[in-house]
Structure 1
Amino acid sequence: MEPMKPMKPMEGMRPMEPMKPMKGSEPWWPRDLGEPSTSGGQNDVQYAFFAAAHRLLIRKGGEIATYDSGDHGISGVSQQQSGSSSLTFTSGEGRVDLDALKKV
């Protein structure tokens, strides 16, 4: 029988590589509008509101519709879940139905 040999020293752990930042998605709205004041989405509908341009953009199924928001300062959205898919937006003046805004 052969005598036990000494164990080799353990190697130190190599430092972890720093995490690379995730690549953000490209904006779906036209760049000439700049950054939206607020944006979001629910189910298959996305919205972006551009206060300075008075524009509300809605993207559904890859199609983009543009609305004149008038004096409304859009800050949120709600979508009816059953039957209809109507959108209602929250503004400083209260609730605003999408049907009340002029499509451009």
Structure 2
Amino acid sequence: MKPMEPMKPMSGGEAWWPKDLGEPSTSGGQNDTQYAFFPEKHRLAVRRDGKVTVYDSGDHRIGGVQQAQGGESSLAFTSQKGSVRLDELRQV
């Protein structure tokens, strides 16, 4: 009997955010929305329905996403300062 081969790591998929942002410190998604946070560049990339939008995260350090049913205004992120809504961040 042939010995088992080690498992190959799963691919994280293709990077959907702009390449000039580098690698995110955190990323995730919920329903039809994905996000990636780039602390060195103070940027938050959000992909909804295939469209990517980049925001200036200011001094927020994004660590997670919260989303209630009901559209873009309900999308919020957790930071060291508490919850920050997407519509509070400036689009770049």
TM-score tier (shorter): 0.7 to 0.9
After the TM superposition, which parts of structure 1 deviate over 4 Å for at least 4 consecutive aligned residues? Answer: none
Work out the CA distance in 2 between the residues paired with 1:17 and 1:27.
31
Q: Which residue of 2 aligns with 1:50?
A: 38
Following TM superposition, by how much is the alpha carbon of 1:84 offset from its aligned partner in structure 2, in angstroms? 3.3
Q: What's the C-alpha RMSD, in Å, of the aligned pairs?
A: 1.6
* 3-state DSSP of counterpart to 2:41: coil
- 3-state secondary structure, aligned to 2:17: coil
Counterpart position of 1:78: 66
Q: Larger relative contact order (C-alpha < 8 A, sep ≥ 6)?
A: 2
Identity level (%): 56
- Give the structure-1-normalised TM-score: 0.78
- Picking from 73, 97, 102, the partner of 2:85 is 97
| TM-score of the superposed pair, with normalisation by structure 2 | 0.87
1:64 to 52, 57, 60: 52
Question: What runs of 5+ residues in structure 2 fail to find an aligned partner?
Answer: none
Bigger mean CA deviation after superposition, 52-61 or 28-37 = 28-37
Flag the structure with larger Rg. Answer: 1
Matched residues, number: 90
